[in-house]
Structure formats: structure tokens, C-alpha cells
Amino acid sequence: MTQSEIQLSTAPAPRARRHRSIAEKVSAMGQQRTGALLLLLATVAAIVWANVSSGAYHAFWETHMTIGVGDLQLDFTLHALVNDALMAIFFFTVGLEVRREFAIGELTSWRRAMVPVIAAIAGLAVPALLYVLIAAPTGQAHAWGVVISTDTAFLVGALALIGPRVPGRLRVFLLALAVVDDIGALSIIALVYTETFTPMPLLIAAVGLAGIFFTRYLRSGRGLVYATLAIIVWLAFLASGVHPTLAGVAIALLVPVYRPNRRDVEHALELARTFRQSPNTEYARAAANSLRESISINERLQSAYGPYVAYVILPLFALANAGVLVTPEILTAAFGSAVTWGIVVGLVMGKFIGIFGSTALLKVLRIGEFGPGLTLDRIAGGAALSGIGFTISLFIVDLAIDDEAVQNEARVGVLLASVIAFVIATVLFRISDAVRPDLETGQVLVRPVDPRRDHIFGAVDAPLSIVEYGDFQCGFCLKASGAIQEVRDELGDQLQYVWRHAPLVQQHPNALAGAEASEAASMQGKFFEFERGLFADQDNQLPSDIVRLAGDLGLDVPRFEKDLEGAEVTARVRDDMFDAEAMGITSVPTFFVNGRRHTGPYDAQSLIRALRATDETPAPAPEVS
């Protein structure tokens, strides 16, 4: 060791620190929280408006507007414009997320995906059954679709407001569940609540959808072609009698999604450097186009439309649909209505029983994969929160119920159920945080070392263990690697060393890419060789540097680059990051010695003393049920 390293190892261990938690790096909670608040405000405004001036409220939303040229005209009320046109954009963004999750997201691994998929299916079926049992005598049993769907926007926003202290893995679970929930709800709208059906326009829609699929092969001008074909498909769905919002989902499922190609990213960087050296319009256009094309159109569209959906479309929908009269007469009728209570029981109890019950059964039977931090008490809070069935529930009220008085009763039921679900979820999350402090204090390793999953240097059955959460661009992690080598030199085969990822993406822009590249290298059996290569040159970890390192190590470079674009490397890094979040890791390197968190200096002798001190009292595996 150099003199500076000796000074470092004998001093209290400095660590690179996050300015924010890992969860904030892997999610966009701010937009979701704000969107949920706007949705809530719009709901309150609609109720107030409808009750202060019911006539004005309904007259405004029944205002007719005509769009067209010559004899080709479309006549809409403002209410229909919101529900049929603007909501098609909302369902388009839902479809984009569905497409992404199945292509490169949480639903690519069947063992991981089967838990939220089965929970979502149970969460669709049980509420519908409970509603039918309660509402059958009223003659409104056919409105069971009102209780099937969770409001994704409110779910994610409410989780950001009242969720547990470490919601990362629960949030991924609920998002995957909501995706399947949305697919089921949209399918039911198409199959059950389409009143008149004309098949011929769907042939036009099919041709338009085929055109959307092949648009990806155009070299330029794709945006205009996508927009034109999307409008044609939407009009065809409208003419067919199938609800036109489903056109948004159909279009979204055909939009390509892929992980950024490293060579495309590097090409974009080269064009940007060229523009900086010789700024002109041609280079500016080329650099901008290259940067844009390096990201899939699916993710670009999600980023572009997300704020409009959260801040404009969903609040407008609430304003147009949540105007429930709450006169004493209506409330009396609602509280005595089997439709109202069928909806409340279906959403609040049905969602909870379906989601929590099926998930608990899967855990007891050891079916599927549950990550650390995804405990049953957390899932209980998420299941309760899934009883917020706002957007699609109100949407189906208009489709399924013709009687205006019964519609008001149903809307009261939806709003009441959403409030009850929110309150129950809040209580469950607070109880969960109070009784499970072990996950937040992070004194025990939440995921025991698994030879089938972890990167282990040394004997897998070694009696002593060090698990490091680190970052390949962190200078302190580089220093710690020297200490780890000294520990291995002294303890030999008695020690197993495990590396897990906790990249500081804000401080180290290339850290996440390095982590994913190391996982791609591990698929060819050279994780630790790649790790040493990254540590040896921390200042040069651009895509071209990473690919060059792969070649220097003798990896199959085409296979390496293909693996980099796959979902598996992303999932492995993300899993480690969620584990780090669950244990409250806010700095790297962070060590777990024989399963317990190490505090203080991490020079070789300090680590050896900690290993020997904990050897006789190994840490128990954490309880995750």
C-alpha cells in the first residue's frame, strides 16, 4: 500500500455519499406525487362545482363542438372529447409502460413476474364476484366492471405520499401489478362494454396498425407518419363501436422499445464533440438527431407525454367525471343502495382479499420470487391502496349504467371506497414501519449470499464472509479493494468476498453503465476480471472504453454488446440497488461482515478483527415473510 492508502486505512472510513436516496434515482416520484395531488384537487373542484351549480356543471360538459372539413365532420360534447380523445392518450401511455415492462422491465422474468400477475388476476376476479353477490338484486350486476381496476396514477402518487420509508421494491411490485390490472380492465371494456359493433372499420384500423409497426424502418420523418396513422386508427376504432381509447393501447404495443445501444450512444457523443469544435446548423441537427435516436421511441414518448397526462389529462378527466351531487337525498339513496355498497366492498375488501390473499398463498407455497423488502406487511398496505379505483371505475360507470340516479350512487361508492382504501393503507404502512425497524436500520444483510446469484471470490462454503456494496467509479471503493486483497492474503480460503452494486449515479455518471457492463461480463465468466479492469481505469468508462475492455479481456464482444442491451443485466443491478435501499445504505463502500453491517475503518486489520469477532455469533438470516 502507498503512504496515502495507509493513512486512509487507519483513519475513520470516508465514503462517497448520495445527495438523495437510491429510490429517487430509479423512480420519478415527484411527478407522480404532484399528479396525484392535482387529480385530488380536480376531484374536489368537480364535486364543489356540481353541487354549487349542478346545471352549469352539466351544461358546460355537454357543450357541443364540431371538428372537420367540408362534409367530413365529427361532433363531440366536451365530456366525450375528454373521455374518448384525451383519455386515449392516457391509455396510450399505459400501453407504452405495458410494452416496456414485457420487453425490458419487471415482467421479463417469469418467476419475478408471476407474483404480481397472479395477484392482479385475483385482484380483478374477487372484487367482481363480491360486487355481483351484493348488487345482483338491484338489476345492476352487469356493472361489475366498475370494481375491477386500480387507478394507477392515484396508486403511485398515494404510495409516494403515504408509503413506507423504503418503497422501492414494493413500488416495482405494484407497478407490475397495475400493468396487468390495466390490461385486464381494457380487455373487459372492449369485450363487455362495447354496445354497437361494426367490424369493417376495424379492417382499416388493422391496416393502420400494420403501418405503425413498419414505420420503425423509415430512415426519417417517422414522427409525422406515426401521428397520421394514429389518428386514422383512432377514427377507425370510433367508427367500429369499440371504445376509441383502446386504440391508444393498440398503438402503444407496436411502438418499439429497446435499451440504448452503446455504439449509438458513443456516436452521439462524437457528433456532439464535432459540433462543439465546429458549431454550425448541420452538425447541430446531426448531433440532436443522433442523441434522440439513441433512446427508444417508447421511452421518448413516455417522457414527452407523461407530464401532460399527469398534469392536464387526468385532472381534466376528474373534473369532467367526478361531479357527484352530494345532496342529503342522494347521499341517503347512496348509503342505502346495494350498488354503492357493492362497489365499496368490491374495491376495498375485494382488492385486498384478492391481492394479499393470493400473494400470501404464493409465499407460503414458495411459488415465485419475492425480493428483500417485499414483505407481507408491505404487500398488505399495497393491496389496501389498490382499492383506489378512480379513473377507470368512473369511466366504466358511464359505460355500464344508464340510469343517472344509479350513476350518482355508483360515483359516491367509487369516491367513498377510494377514501377508505387510502386511510386503511396509511394505517397499515405506519404499522409496518413501526414493527419492522430492522429493514431500515440495515444492521443485518437482507439477502443472504446465494452462490447461484452473487459474485463470489473465494470458496462458497468459507466460514467467513465480506459483502461489499460499491461503485466502480468510487475512489474509496478502489482503496478498499486493496484492503480486501490483504484480508484474502492473510485468511486465504477461510474468506469469501461478495460484490454487490450500489452505483452513485448522480456523482458518477458512468457508474451505472459500468455496473451493467460487469454483469454482461459475468455472463461469460469474467466478472472479477472486468471489475479489476474498471477499477484500474476509473476515469475512462465511456461506452467505447467498456467495449474495448471487454475485447482486452478476451470476451466475445458481439455477445457482450447484445447482453448489455438485454433486460437481465439491468434487473441484476436494480435488484442490488433495491437491496441497498432496503438497508438504508447511503454511502459506499458499505461492508457486511459475516452478515452484519460493519462500521468504522475498513483497513485490512480492522476488517479481520471484525470477521473474527463475529465468527462465533453469525448473523441470523433476516425474516422476510
What is the spatial distance between Cα 120 and Cα 275, in angstroms, rounded to a whole number?
50
417/452 same-domain check: no
342/457 same-domain check: no
**Cα–Cα separations (whole angstroms), residue 199 to 56, 194, 230, 239:** 38, 12, 18, 9
Angle between helices 543-552 and 527-536 (to 10 degrees): 130
CATH of the domain at 352: 1.20.1530.10
Amino acid 36 reads A
Confidence at residue 510, expressed as pLDDT on a 0 to 100 scale: 83
What is the spatial distance between Cα 154 and Cα 541, in angstroms, rounded to a whole number?
40
DSSP string, 215-273: GGG-SS-HHHHHHHHHHHHHHHHHHHTS-THHHHHHHHTTS---PPPHHHHHHHHHHHH
Q: Is 223 a domain residue?
A: no
Confidence at residue 198, expressed as pLDDT on a 0 to 100 scale: 85
Q: Is 236 a domain residue?
A: no
Amino acid 424 reads I
139/180 same-domain check: yes
550/526 same-domain check: yes
> pLDDT tens for residues 354-399?
999 999 999 999 898 887 668 898 999 999 999 998 878 988 998 8
DSSP label at 145?
A: G
DSSP label at 182?
A: H
Confidence at residue 67, expressed as pLDDT on a 0 to 100 scale: 78
DSSP string, 281-345: HHHHHHHHHHHHHTS-HHHHHHHHHHHHIIIIIHHHHHHHH------HHHHHHHHT-HHHHHHHI
Q: Is 273 a domain residue?
A: no
418/524 same-domain check: no
**Cα–Cα separations (whole angstroms), residue 379 to 151, 180, 424, 625:** 17, 17, 13, 10
Measured in whole angstroms, the distance separating CA 218 from the mean position of its chain's CA atoms is 30
What cell does 368 get?
415465485
Confidence at residue 456, expressed as pLDDT on a 0 to 100 scale: 94
Q: Is 527 a domain residue?
A: yes
44/122 same-domain check: yes
Answer for the pair 10, 479: CB distance below 8 angstroms, yes or no: no
**End position of a domain, from candidates 418, 435, 452:** 435
User: Model pTM?
Assistant: 0.74
Measured in whole angstroms, the distance separating CA 496 from the mean position of its chain's CA atoms is 34
**End position of a domain, from candidates 367, 400, 435:** 435
Confidence at residue 615, expressed as pLDDT on a 0 to 100 scale: 65
What cell does 154 get?
392515484
Q: Is 207 a domain residue?
A: no
Residue whose C-alpha cell is 380487455: 187
**Among 293, 283, 295, 282, which residue's Cα sits nearest to residue 218?**
293
- The boundaries of the domain holding residue 597 are 444-615
**Cα–Cα separations (whole angstroms), residue 198 to 231, 241, 387, 512, 596:** 18, 6, 35, 51, 66
533/563 same-domain check: yes
431/474 same-domain check: no
Letter string b/e over residues 315-346, b meaning 16 or more CB atoms within 10 A of that residue's CB: bbbbbbbbbbbbeeebbebbeebbbbbbbbbb
What is the spatial distance between Cα 457 and Cα 493, in angstroms, rounded to a whole number?
10
371/479 same-domain check: no
Q: Is 226 a domain residue?
A: no
What is the spatial distance between Cα 343 and Cα 338, in angstroms, rounded to a whole number?
8
430/450 same-domain check: no
**Among 376, 379, 373, 388, which residue's Cα sits nearest to residue 423?**
388
What is the spatial distance between Cα 152 and Cα 166, in angstroms, rounded to a whole number?
19
What cell does 367 get?
411459488
Answer for the pair 325, 397: CB distance below 8 angstroms, yes or no: no
Helix (H) or strand (E) holding 192: helix 168-192
**End position of a domain, from candidates 435, 466, 481:** 435
148/188 same-domain check: yes
What is the spatial distance between Cα 357 and Cα 558, in angstroms, rounded to a whole number?
45
Answer for the pair 126, 353: CB distance below 8 angstroms, yes or no: yes
CATH of the domain at 546: 3.40.30.10
Q: Domain count of the chain?
A: 2
> pLDDT tens for residues 402-428?
898 899 899 999 999 999 999 999 999
Cα dihedral sign, 265-267-272-273: positive
Residue whose C-alpha cell is 399527469: 310
**Among 341, 399, 376, which residue's Cα sits nearest to residue 170?**
376
Q: Is 333 a domain residue?
A: yes
Q: What is the dihedral of CA 132, 138, 141, 143, to 10 degrees?
A: -120
Q: Is 8 a domain residue?
A: no
Beta bridge partners of 16: 588
469/518 same-domain check: yes
**Cα–Cα separations (whole angstroms), residue 92 to 244, 251, 264, 272:** 11, 7, 27, 32
pLDDT averaged per 10 residues in sequence order, the chain, 625 residues: 36 46 44 78 91 89 82 82 89 83 74 89 96 94 93 80 78 83 83 82 94 89 90 92 85 85 72 79 77 80 87 90 84 93 97 97 90 83 93 87 90 93 95 67 82 90 94 91 91 93 86 92 95 90 87 94 84 86 85 92 91 65 44
Confidence at residue 312, expressed as pLDDT on a 0 to 100 scale: 92
